[in-house]
């Protein structure tokens, strides 16, 4: 078995799969980082991803256009995040309750719309999914080139987004405002920055990321919609946000490690090790918990997270 | 000649400004004028409506009546942005800084310019302002590494960075050591010389006399008087502020100093950032005395009280109560010794705001007889106990069953005093016991401390209010950066020397 693990084919296959498996988690983590940096915890992430997965799939099923599916999934994510903004930002309700509510609502809505469109056939409908794109020259690099540079377009875009989100947060005017509001909304308000609007826009941006992350699973990773297609990846993104200390680069590293473990456990299952497959399924989640225990005690939570901002409070 | 014309035109005029909260009128038809190159003091007790009035001027609250004029033109402010655009900046009592960001980021937020941050250009602008007004701060320093005085400089820089001509300062000296206050006043004079106007909120009368040209006094949301500083005196301002002759008449009482009741030996603790906050601190408190612990807040007083209260385990050192060592970090052991614990923050640590008055009163006695027996609590005992407390400490409340949050600040403190003092303690540790209280409640608390001393208890009074320390203490120690800078008996104490100790200067 050891010789199989160390074969070139196994390793290159593992790297390729790691990059694929981590794509939706990186996307969702980046979205959650933007949102939480503005002071809002969006627990609607899991449901929003499922909603994006369903909308993206159905759009492509109807039109045959994959990119239109991605676009509609992003719009769906934005719509649900705006609902989150109404509840948690403008009405100032508990972010925990609002977010979980949206996850429950969106999961039901996704299934409802899916049934409405396709009914419940014995064989679920399928689409022709994205195919990996080999980048000329780079994919020809011996041994590793093929696994790194023969990926889905969405994976390449996701990789580009990691530095872009970093630049946005740390080098732009809007990023400074988002960070300030997440730390001290009162300070932002006193210098004339609109707290609730900035939070709403941050939520919307995050929602678009969630929607596309979900669509990746039904338009690239698989070619059909299943109710458990997200499989807790939204919750993992929440964990990765903390693991990465609200830093896009570190969050992506966390997501990549999770993707690696996920890819690894799938391969271990096929190698015929004599253990129930549930044990392998558990590995990435178990290691996520261990990683959180070791890292998150040092995490510096945005000071304004979970706190609705109100102006007319007396005594401020 | 131009200057005199400028002086006649009010840069700000508030005309009949009214601001209501749900059921309270915070400001009732208040008039205020501010001229160029002038410092106006806004004086009043807690709750007189000073901060609210200024938050209206700053666009943070919408006004419910009256008019706002800038350079004699009427304006409407919907948000602080409008005030900033009109050259008004407010420096709040609680700083509006982001601790995890740099000086430069805090200065430029809201004024960033283009889509991408141009930190180089912003830094040049900031350094130029720093040089012009002698406010030197490293633009790349993270805010949490700055001292309180430096953070205040940053707040002033933020205002100037926005081109503010009018600065509203809400109790700026409350957090400063005496030497820092002197420095602040120099800065304010520089600002006035360069054409700025300042509204200075305070209830420190001497400071108002030192820095202001004119004073406006608010009481219960109403403007009760206006004086030029040259034509008034501290006693007059005091009685205008309170609405009656102000002469705190305390009965000092007789007491004899006895055995040690509380001893701290070489205590050490860190604050929540891991920085040493109390460092090798020792003192002895005896029966029948008030030991005052003076110091600018943030110099380890909070951590010291948390150790004495059993909330925090000392990293090093021991605590003895009546000669017996008590285990650190164990509140219930401290309660058993009968120490009266009057915490710094009565809302966050002293009381459960949603529980009833009677429940708050039995917080420490509900585990012992007669209130608790065989694991059950006796309602009748609780009611008798609470009734006794309410009567003896004249707590104003709609009965013992209402949530304690319905009480005023002074009565909240009385609930705590009742709970802590009713068992005739040998040791009383009071941390900032009159912070935020009005004059009447303050007097009550002071008398209660002195009564404890007369009855033979040792009272440790931790306070950043030097007047209070001088009024009550028999002995004074001064804390600076977690250490004791010096000790002096109250007869020999001299304000200047203590002021120097408070800013870390030994003489």
Kindly report, residue by residue over A97-125, the tens digit of the pLDDT: 999 999 999 999 999 999 999 998 889 99
> Measured between beta carbons, which residues in chain B are less than 8 angstroms from residue A185?
none
Is B97's CB within 8 Å of A190's CB? Answer: no
Strand order in B324-326's β-sheet?
A: B276-286, B260-270, B316-321, B324-326
pLDDT of the residue at B223 = 95
> Measured between beta carbons, which residues in chain B are less than 8 angstroms from residue A174?
115
B26 interfacial to chain A (CB closer than 8 Å)? yes
Of A243-252, A290-299, B27-36, the least confident: A290-299
d(CA A237, CA A214): 12
Closest partner CB to A311 (pick from B60, B85, B99): B60
Closest partner CB to B112 (pick from A176, A314, A316): A176
Pick the CATH number of A2-128+147-298 from 1.10.3470, 3.30.9, 3.40.50, 3.30.310: 1.10.3470
Closest partner CB to A187 (pick from B61, B96, B108): B96
B19 interfacial to chain A (CB closer than 8 Å)? no
A179 interfacial to chain B (CB closer than 8 Å)? yes
Question: DSSP H helical segments within B40-102, as ranges?
Answer: 50-57, 80-85
d(CA B277, CA B451): 32
Q: How far is CA B402 from the centre of its chain?
A: 28
> Measured between beta carbons, which residues in chain A are less than 8 angstroms from residue B101?
179-180, 183
Question: DSSP H helical segments within B58-111, as ranges?
Answer: 80-85, 103-108
pLDDT of the residue at B206 = 85
pLDDT of B413 strictly over 50: yes
Question: DSSP H helical segments within B397-438, as ranges?
Answer: 409-421
Digit-coded pLDDT (tens) for A52-68: 999 999 999 999 999 99
pLDDT of the residue at A2 = 64
Helices A153-171 and A8-37 pack at an angle, to 10 degrees, of: 40
> Measured between beta carbons, which residues in chain A are less than 8 angstroms from residue B405?
none
Using pLDDT thresholds of 50, 70 and 90, give the confidence band for residue B94.
confident
Q: B136: how many CB neighbours lie within 10 A of its CB? A: 11
B98 interfacial to chain A (CB closer than 8 Å)? yes
Side-chain half-sphere CA neighbours of A277 within 13 A: 9
DSSP H or E stretch at residue A98: helix A95-118
pLDDT of the residue at A104 = 97
Using pLDDT thresholds of 50, 70 and 90, give the confidence band for residue B245.
low
pLDDT of the residue at B247 = 55
DSSP H or E stretch at residue A255: helix A248-270
Question: Mean pLDDT throughout A78-105?
Answer: 97
Q: What are the tokens at A18?
A: 């790691």
pLDDT of the residue at B9 = 82
Question: Mean pLDDT throughout B143-153?
Answer: 90
Long-range Cβ contact pairs of B465-470 (< 8 A, separation 24 or more): B465/B432, B465/B434, B465/B435, B466/B294, B466/B495, B466/B498, B466/B499, B466/B502, B468/B292, B468/B434, B469/B292, B469/B293, B469/B294, B470/B292, B470/B495
Backbone conformation region of residue A297, classed left if phi is above 0, alpha if psi is from -120 to 50, else beta: alpha
B348 interfacial to chain A (CB closer than 8 Å)? no
- Which has the closest alpha carbon to B462: B353, B271, B304? B304
- Domains of chain B, start order: 2-242 (3.40.50.300), 259-339+426-507 (3.40.50.300), 348-424 (no CATH)
Nearest residue in A to B106, CA atom: A180
> Measured between beta carbons, which residues in chain A are less than 8 angstroms from residue B85?
192
- Which has the closest alpha carbon to B442: B434, B450, B453, B432? B434
pLDDT of B48 strictly over 90: no
């Amino acid at each position: 078995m050891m010789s199989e693990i160390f074969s070139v084919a196994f390793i290159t296959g593992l790297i390729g799969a790691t990059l694929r498996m981590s794509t939706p988690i990186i996307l969702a983590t980046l979205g959650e980082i933007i949102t939480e940096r503005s002071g809002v915890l969006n627990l609607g992430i899991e449901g929003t991803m499922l909603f994006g997965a369903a909308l993206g799939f159905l759009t492509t099923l109807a039109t045959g256009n994959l990119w239109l599916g991605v676009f509609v999934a992003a719009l769906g994510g934005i719509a649900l995040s705006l609902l989150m903004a109404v509840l948690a930002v403008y009405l100032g309700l508990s972010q925990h309750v609002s977010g979980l509510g949206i996850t429950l609502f969106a999961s039901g809505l996704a299934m409802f719309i899916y049934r409405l469109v396709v009914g419940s056939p014995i064989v679920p409908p399928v689409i022709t999914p994205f195919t990996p794109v080999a980048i000329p020259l780079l994919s020809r690099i011996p041994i590793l080139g093929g696994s790194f540079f023969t990926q889905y377009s969405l994976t390449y875009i996701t990789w580009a987004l990691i530095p872009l989100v970093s630049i946005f947060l740390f080098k732009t005017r809007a990023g400074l405002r988002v960070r300030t509001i997440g730390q001290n909304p009162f300070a932002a308000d006193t210098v004339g920055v609109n707290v609730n609007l900035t939070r709403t826009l941050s939520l919307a941006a995050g929602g678009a990321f969630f929607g596309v992350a979900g669509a990746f699973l039904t338009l690239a990773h698989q070619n059909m919609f299943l109710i458990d297609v997200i499989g807790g990846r939204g919750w993992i993104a929440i964990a990765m946000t903390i693991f990465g200390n609200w830093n896009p680069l570190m969050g992506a590293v966390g997501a990549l490690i999770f993707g690696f473990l996920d890819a690894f456990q799938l391969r271990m299952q096929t190698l015929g090790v004599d253990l129930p497959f549930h044990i392998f399924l558990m590995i990435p989640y178990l290691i996520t918990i261990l990683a959180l225990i070791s890292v998150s005690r040092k995490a510096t939570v945005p000071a304004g997270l979970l706190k609705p901002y109100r102006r007319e409070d007396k005594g401020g | 000649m131009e200057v005199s014309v400028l002086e006649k035109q009010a840069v700000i005029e508030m005309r009949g400004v009214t601001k209501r909260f749900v059921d309270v009128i915070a400001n009732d038809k208040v008039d205020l004028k501010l001229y160029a190159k002038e410092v106006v003091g806004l004086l009043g007790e807690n709750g007189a409506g000073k901060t609210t009035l200024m938050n209206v001027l700053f666009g943070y609250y919408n006004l419910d009546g009256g008019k706002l004029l800038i350079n004699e033109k009427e304006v409407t402010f919907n948000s602080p942005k409008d005030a900033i655009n009109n050259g008004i900046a407010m420096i709040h009592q609680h700083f509006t800084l982001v601790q995890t960001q740099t000086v430069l980021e805090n200065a430029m937020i809201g004024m960033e310019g283009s889509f991408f941050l141009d930190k180089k250009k912003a830094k040049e602008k900031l350094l130029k302002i720093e040089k012009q007004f002698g406010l030197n701060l490293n633009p790349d320093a993270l805010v949490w590494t700055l001292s309180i005085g430096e953070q205040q400089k940053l707040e002033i820089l933020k205002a100037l960075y926005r081109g503010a001509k009018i600065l509203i300062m809400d109790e700026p000296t409350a957090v400063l050591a005496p030497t820092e206050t002197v420095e602040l006043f120099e800065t304010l004079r520089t600002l006035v010389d360069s054409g700025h106007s300042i509204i200075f909120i305070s209830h420190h009368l001497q400071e108002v006399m030192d820095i202001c040209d004119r004073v406006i006094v608010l009481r219960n949301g109403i403007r009760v008087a206006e004086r030029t500083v040259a034509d008034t005196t501290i006693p007059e301002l005091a009685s205008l502020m309170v609405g009656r002759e102000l002469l705190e008449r305390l009965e000092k009482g007789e007491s004899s100093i006895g055995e040690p009741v509380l001893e701290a030996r070489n205590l050490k603790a860190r604050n929540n950032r891991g920085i040493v906050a109390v460092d090798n601190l020792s003192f002895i408190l005896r029966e029948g005395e008030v030991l005052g612990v003076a110091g600018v807040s943030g110099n380890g007083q909070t951590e010291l009280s948390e150790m004495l209260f059993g909330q925090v385990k000392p990293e090093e050192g021991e605590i003895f109560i009546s000669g017996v060592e008590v285990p650190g970090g164990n509140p219930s052991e401290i309660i058993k010794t009968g120490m009266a614990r009057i915490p710094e923050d009565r809302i966050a640590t002293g009381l459960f705001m949603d529980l009833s008055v009677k429940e708050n009163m039995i917080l420490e006695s509900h585990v012992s007889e007669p209130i608790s027996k065989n694991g059950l609590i006796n309602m009748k005992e609780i009611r008798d106990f609470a009734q006794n407390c309410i009567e003896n400490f004249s707590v104003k409340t709609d009965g013992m069953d209402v949530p304690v949050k319905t009480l005023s600040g002074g009565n909240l403190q009385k609930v705590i005093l009742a709970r802590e003092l009713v068992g005739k303690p040998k040791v009383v540790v009071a941390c900032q016991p009159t912070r935020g209280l009005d004059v009447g409640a303050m007097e009550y608390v002071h008398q209660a401390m002195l009564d404890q001393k007369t009855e033979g208890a040792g009272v440790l009074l931790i306070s950043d209010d030097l007047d209070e320390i001088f009024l009550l203490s028999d002995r004074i120690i001064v804390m600076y950066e977690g250490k004791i800078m010096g000790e002096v008996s109250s007869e020999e104490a001299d304000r200047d020397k203590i002021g120097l100790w408070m800013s870390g200067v030994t003489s």
